[in-house]
Amino acid sequence: MIIRANNYEPRNNSEYYILDRQLTAGKAGRFDLTGIYWGRAQRRKGQEVPLCLMEVKFALNPDIQNLHEQIGRYYDAIREQASVMAEEAEEMLRQKIELGHINQPANRLEAMKTLTISRDIGKFQFMLFLIDYNPHSSLLNLEKINRLPFAHQLRIYRGGFALWHANLVPLMST
């Protein structure tokens, strides 16, 4: 559903496009999704964009409590091959566009064909997707995640269909 919402729904005008699934991070494991971030505010032809490496966790997966260790291992495993990964991802982007696996207006697709993906791991984004994660759970240890040396490159996305009152935002205060 993540791939469909970001690659195949032009009305979403997403800023993230998914290029591949299950990218190997050496013997340390594999990222669930690989993509790029192309921000809406300054979109133009010929831009350099960051590679995004994404880990997806569903519900109260017990692995969430060790997410800091997992992401740290993955980062260490890809550090030396970051440039090669970005180059391969750039080729995948071109192929996805050519094969029609990214459904966007023609002018956006033409601009996307001119994008380059940064070879600098310091510009990569690392995303943690928490799908239907219970906000009352204590499995996620943000303190340990914030201690990672690349924590400034991490983003956490919480979404899904399970509902908790704590996640609802009232339109009017009473």
Q: Which residues pair with 49 in a beta bridge?
A: 117
Residues 32-46 have pLDDT tens digits of 999 999 998 889 999
Report pLDDT for 25: 65
More confident call, 24 vs 142: 142
Q: What is the mean pLDDT of residues 102-113?
A: 94
Q: What is the mean pLDDT of residues 79-87?
A: 91
Residue 71 pLDDT > 80: yes
Report pLDDT for 46: 94
Residues 155-167 have pLDDT tens digits of 999 988 888 888 7
**Contact yes or no for 116/90 (Cβ under 8 A):** yes
Please enumerate, as own/partner, the contacts of 12-20 that have beta carbons within 8 Å and a separation of 24 or more: 13/40, 15/39, 15/40, 16/52, 17/93, 17/96, 17/102, 17/112, 19/89, 19/92, 19/93, 19/96, 20/89, 20/92
Report pLDDT for 31: 86
